[in-house]
Amino acid sequence: MKKLDMGAQTPQETESQYAALCFRRTGKNEHEVLLITSRDTGRWVIPKGWPMKGKSGSQCALREAFEEAGVEGLPWPMPIGVYAYDKVLTAGVQPCIVSVYPVEVDRMRNEFPEKGQRERKWFKPKKAAEKVDEPELRSLIKSFDPGKAGKALGSSDA
């Protein structure tokens, strides 16, 4: 497969994306993770997308969570980690590094831009980790703890 021609960039140059690890608390020290299906392959993924002018990483992650899954909530101001994957585009493959921002879900809208294009489903963390293909994302989901100290609860740049 031919690499994507990004103009002045070399085809192997890695692009940045921002993702939302959407979660809801289900009890004391328990939570669930929201996964969505990709539009092209139907694989289980988390909402993610390209940087947006004038928006921080956490703001981009929250925007993608709304557009792709109807999520409204509070993003954490700092990512919990990154993972790599190859984005398949019509012009070829683009290597991406994705910064993952937790988003505590307050509300799920029934109407959102990509409704009907994706399935969305809540999973316990262990099951969610088993459903995603990327090993680094699997590890982030397994190790994610919303009760972890230092998350700056209530603070956000969104």
Average pLDDT (92-101) is 94
- pTM, entire model: 0.85
Does position 153 have pLDDT exceeding 80, yes or no? no
> What one-letter code names the amino acid at 151?
K
33 beta partners: 23, 123
Does position 97 have pLDDT exceeding 50, yes or no? yes
CB contact at 8 A, 35 and 120: yes
Percent of the chain with pLDDT over 70: 86
Query: For 44-89, how does the pLDDT look when each residue is reduced to its tens digit (9 = 90+)?
Result: 999 999 999 999 999 999 999 999 999 999 999 999 999 999 988 8
Average pLDDT (115-138) is 97
